[in-house]
Amino acid sequence: MGSFPPFNLLSILGLILLATTTDAHSYSGADYYKDSCPQATTIVTDMVNNFVKANKNLAGGFLRLHFHDCFVRGCDASVLLNSPTNSAEKDARPNAGSLRGFHEIDQIKAALEAECPGIVSCGDILALAARDATVKVGGQSWSLDLGRKDGKVSISSEADAQLPSPFATYDQLVQNFSAVGFTQEEMVILSGGHTIGRSSCGAVQPRLYNFNGVAGLTDPSIDPSLAKELKKKCPENEPGTTLAMDSTKNTFDHLYFKAVLNNKGLFQSDANLLTNPVGKELVTRYSKAGSSFSSDFAGAMTKMSNIQWATDGEVRRVCSIINQ
Predicted TM-score of the model (pTM)? 0.90
Signed CA dihedral, 182, 95, 86, 157: sign only: positive
- State the DSSP code for 222: S
The residue among 294, 302, 290 whose CA lies nearest residue 193 is: 294
Mean per-residue pLDDT of the chain: 91
pLDDT of res. 28: 54
For the beta carbon of residue 84, count every other beta carbon within 10 angstroms. 6
Cα distances (Å, whole numbers) of residue 167 to 11, 47, 229, 257 = 61, 34, 19, 18
pLDDT of res. 229: 96
pLDDT confidence tier of residue 7, bands split at 50, 70 and 90: very low
Q: Which residue has the higher pLDDT, 11 or 75?
A: 75
- pLDDT of 24 > 70? The answer is no
- pLDDT of 271 > 50? The answer is yes
State pLDDT tens for residues 277-301: 999 999 999 999 999 999 999 999 9
Q: Which residue has the higher pLDDT, 106 or 1?
A: 106
pLDDT of res. 311: 74
Cα distances (Å, whole numbers) of residue 284 to 187, 193, 239, 258 = 15, 16, 33, 8
Name, in order, each residue with C-beta under 8 angstroms of 225's C-beta and a sequence gap of 6 or more.
Answer: none
CATH topology classification for 39-197+245-300:
Peroxidase; domain 1 (1.10.520)
pLDDT confidence tier of residue 240, bands split at 50, 70 and 90: confident
d(CA 38, CA 44): 12
3-state SS record for 137-195: CCCCCCCCCCCCCECCCCCHHHHHHHCCCCCCCHHHHHHHHHCCCCCHHHHHHHHHHHH
For the beta carbon of residue 295, count every other beta carbon within 10 angstroms. 11
Annotated binding site for Ca(2+): 69, 72, 74, 76, 78, 89, 195, 246, 248, 253
pLDDT of res. 9: 37
Which residues, listed in sequence order, are joined to residue 243 by a DSSP beta bridge?
Answer: 199
Annotated binding site: 69, 72, 74, 76, 78, 89, 164, 194-195, 246, 248, 253
- For the chain, give every domain's residue range: 39-197+245-300
Annotated binding site for substrate: 164
pLDDT confidence tier of residue 310, bands split at 50, 70 and 90: low
68 is catalytic: yes
State pLDDT tens for residues 28-44: 589 999 999 999 999 99
d(CA 195, CA 15): 51
Catalytic residue selected from 25, 66, 68, 103? 68
pLDDT of res. 309: 83
Calculate mean pLDDT across residues 46-56: 98
Annotated binding site for heme b: 194
pLDDT of res. 239: 87
State pLDDT tens for residues 140-176: 999 999 999 999 999 999 999 999 999 999 999 999 9
pLDDT of res. 15: 37
pLDDT of res. 23: 36
